[in-house]
Chain A
Amino acid sequence: MTLKSSGTHRWLLSTLVTTALVAASHALAQTPPNVLIVGQIAEPKALDPAQVTAVNDFRIVMNLYDGLVRYADGSLEVEPSLASEWTISDDGTVYTFTLRDDVNFHDGSAFNAEAVVFNFERMLDEEHPYHDTGPFPLAFFFDAIDSVEATGDHEVTFQLEEPYAPFLSNLAYPTGLIVSPAAIEQYGEEIARNPSGTGPFQFEEWQSNSRVVVTRNEQYWDGAPSLEAVVFRPITDANTRVAEMLSGGIDLMVEVPPDNLASMASETTFDVYEQAGPHVWFLILNTREGPFENQSMRQAINFAIDKQSLVENVLQGTAEVAAGPTPPAFEWAYNEELDPYPYDPEKARELISDAGYEGAELTFYVTEGGSGMLDPIPMGTAIQADLAEVGLEVNIETYEWNTFLDRVNSGLEGKADMAQMAWMTNDPDTLPFLALRSDAMPESGGFNSGYYSNAKVDELLEQARRSVDQDERAALYREMQAIVHEDAPWAFIANWKQNAVASANVENFQLQPSFFLLLHDVEKR
């Protein structure tokens, strides 16, 4: 019995030939010259800077728009951008910006004082005709603004309700970037997908879950970029992202898994970049009830956790040990004199026994993963083991990220003794002001979920916020850090280093301490 299978053969053969042809025509297809392909971790939610909250979205919008000010290269200090200079009144409540007069938006409309006023009123004034093109979740960055006025064609004046020192640094944040009013009027709520700014690149297309393409802005006021275009590709699966990098499908990827980072660092075809940023990973301790009402118990926890081992073994060197509530990336405000609590289980046991809490049972909230949380479950179990070592019995409760935030942000009272948390901020004021003040309890809408309260810290933070002199602010923040370090309302664990891998033909790329991805100066050979 034989089936004449010449038909089958012919079919197989033609399929193979077609496949081979298709493969050959594209074989070894590298990324196109002078176009940078970036592997992103997720699809952006929006490209309207007033609406975005995620670092992933910031990476795109920072290349499409400019703010009045920006962070200087490699630092978190502000320098002029769309505003060429500014003055601050002596009492710190009036900011007057002189704007550049040679700038146009990508849609051709002119950038001027009216455009700035339009942007801030759209975000802050519920009566504004385009306020409904939001939501604007980070509008509270500008809550201090009482009024914003065009005091000339190219001069704009902000009147603040009270002195608010982080104002300039908030203007450099994506929430402060300036969108073309003409584009907002044209697109309404579709502005989120049809961005128009003044930045080095202009929007070309957004294909859902495939790519966002931006092209060179030839008229860029700060010099047109060398790259012809940048393509942001969302590749949510970390393994696929790495495979794309290895197969030459992308030129640059961010948030490389620690395992792959080591192997890529050893290859000459890739350059590995690392940069510590304004991130801190800590444990909130419930100071209102239970063992952590007691200060020496809180210090004991800080002594008992082997942070060096966490950073080296669990996080594989992608973070550094944290010393206090303020990340060292805020160089100007960081207290160099503080050392991390050393790993000293002996001392911890002593403190615990003096406090009478030997063998205490603790409830520990751990999340499955979330923005800036690094590797929360392995970190949680390692901490649990360290605390078992000093005789504390820790019960872990694990929650999905959104549920976790819901439970933690509403305060730990009656629920848990400690909880993981991480913050990434743009000003040394933000985190302590929102999470360590007596007025920032969860009951009053703050993030002080462990109920820490110290009148001196409150006073220092208020004062730092009102001061317009950076050196004076720095001194106040340093003093605050020393007190918080001693009071230990948190267990200070780690400061994350952001990483990226680029193929060797990508030049002039630098990661920024702000965690923004700035591609203006990047070249591709």
Chain B
Amino acid sequence: MIRYTLRRLLMTFPVLLGLSVIVFLIMSLIPGDPAQAILGSYATPENLEQLRADLGLNLPLPQQYLVWLGNILQGDLGRSYTLNRPVLDEVLERFSATLILAGTSLVLCTIVGVTAGIVSAIRQYGWGDRIITLLVLVGISVPAFWLGMLMIMYFSVGLRWFPASGMTAAYGGGGILDVLHHLVLPAIALAVVAAGVIARLTRSNMLEVLRQDYIRTARAKGLGEHRVVLRHAFKVALVNLIPVIGVQAGFVIGGAVYIETVFQWPGIGRMLVNAISTRDLLLVQGGVLVVAAAYVLFNLMADLFQHWLDPRIQA
């Protein structure tokens, strides 16, 4: 188990290294350069040249990459051209905001998705099942950003129940209640698609398990239905659901890009969008690395948890 974990963690490094090369190449392929983005319309060729030299953009591409890599190995992610602050500070601050949003969303979509899936499975072809299946279909099909905009129009502009954007009140806020209040709409908007996927898979897994002989045996023994479904059936179905939830965790972090833009959540998704449009290479690199590392870690955690639930599965 420990050896497996270590091996998986070691495998993360080539993944991240490859990723950083790809990001570096893509960023240098898209037109427009950071010096131009910083100087704006007043950029004279002379000023541009000077600034490119200052930023080290005149070096050959491989050399630029190696310089960056050397700094990374010393724990220095560089300094953002556009934000005037160290990349590491910015990325950590923003990633924690994303974790709050994505984490809440993940809990939400797991609880709602699993509950809906179980209810759907035990009421197969009943009204409950039909209604849930319809809702799941809608949930999977609705674009999250559009849902977010509708929610803003209805709950913020119309009813004024929740703030339209941001993570804390603009002035004097910052308490847990304040963050929760801001979290409700974006967390729900972000959870909807993943909840749909989880509900579908829970339903099919549960249906499969409920048809097994041992379930019939359990019922024949006279066990309560509640106990049969949750103890005997769901625990087995859960083993197959865990990796799905792990993958959904990745999707939720990815989907946060749209939701963070719509709700102006100060997370890493919105940071990346801004950084790409201003050609802030170091910030993009730092952000992508952190997101990718998180993705790999979530999947690893899901695998380990699955192995713990069912040691027969080779970890």
Partner of A244, one of B153, B165, B168: B165
Is the pair A236, B261 in contact by a Cβ cutoff of 8 Å? yes
A45 within 8 A of partner (CB): yes
Q: A interface, how many residues as a size bin?
A: 35 or more
Is the pair A31, B170 in contact by a Cβ cutoff of 8 Å? yes
Is the pair B225, A243 in contact by a Cβ cutoff of 8 Å? no
CB-defined interface of A357-401 with B at 8 Å, one 1/0 digit per residue?
A: 000000000000011100000000000000000000000000111
Binds A, one of B65-73, B154-162, B192-200, B239-247: B154-162
List of A residues within 8 angstroms of B44 by Cβ = 140, 409, 445-447
User: Interface residue count for B (Cβ, 8 Å)?
Assistant: 66
Give the CA-CA distance A423 to B41 in the complex, in Å: 8
129-169 of chain B: CB within 8 A of chain A: 149, 152-153, 156-157, 160-169
B172 within 8 A of partner (CB): yes
Say yes or no: A405-B36 contact (C-beta < 8 A), given A237-B261, A247-B164: yes
Is the pair B83, A208 in contact by a Cβ cutoff of 8 Å? yes
Say yes or no: A3-B229 contact (C-beta < 8 A), given A208-B90, A240-B263, A409-B43: yes
List of B residues within 8 angstroms of A248 by Cβ = 160
Say yes or no: A37-B42 contact (C-beta < 8 A), given A25-B177, A207-B266, A210-B266: no
Give the CA-CA distance A513 to B83 in the complex, in Å: 28
CB-defined interface of B27-65 with A at 8 Å, one 1/0 digit per residue?
A: 000011100111111111111000100100000000000
Is the pair B266, A193 in contact by a Cβ cutoff of 8 Å? no
Binds B, one of A156-164, A227-235, A330-338, A452-460: A227-235
Interface centre among A137, A229, A235, A250 (most CB of B within 10 A): A137
Give the CA-CA distance A45 to B42 in the complex, in Å: 16
A35 within 8 A of partner (CB): yes
Is the pair B90, A4 in contact by a Cβ cutoff of 8 Å? no
Q: How far is the CB of B286 from chain A (nearest CB, A)?
A: 13
Is the pair A37, B170 in contact by a Cβ cutoff of 8 Å? yes
Partner of B32, one of A4, A28, A246, A400: A400
Give the CA-CA distance A135 to B43 in the complex, in Å: 13
Partner of B84, one of A32, A189, A236: A189
B171 within 8 A of partner (CB): yes
A192 within 8 A of partner (CB): yes
List of B residues within 8 angstroms of A235 by Cβ = 165, 264
Is the pair B115, A8 in contact by a Cβ cutoff of 8 Å? yes
CB-defined interface of A188-223 with B at 8 Å, one 1/0 digit per residue?
A: 011011000000000000011111010000000000
Pick the 8 closest A-B CB pairs, nearest first.
A402-B32, A192-B84, A209-B266, A403-B31, A247-B156, A243-B164, A231-B170, A246-B157
Q: Which residues of A approach B to under 8 Å, CB–CB?
A: 1-5, 8, 11, 19, 22-23, 25-29, 31-32, 35, 37, 42-43, 45-46, 51, 53-54, 135, 137-138, 140, 189-190, 192-193, 207-211, 213, 229, 231, 233-237, 239-240, 243-244, 246-250, 370-372, 399-403, 405-406, 409-410, 423, 442, 445-447
> Can you list 18 residue pairs at the A/B interface with Cβ under 8 Å?
A4-B225, A26-B177, A51-B84, A53-B42, A54-B40, A137-B40, A138-B42, A193-B85, A209-B264, A210-B266, A211-B166, A234-B264, A235-B264, A236-B270, A243-B156, A247-B160, A249-B163, A405-B43
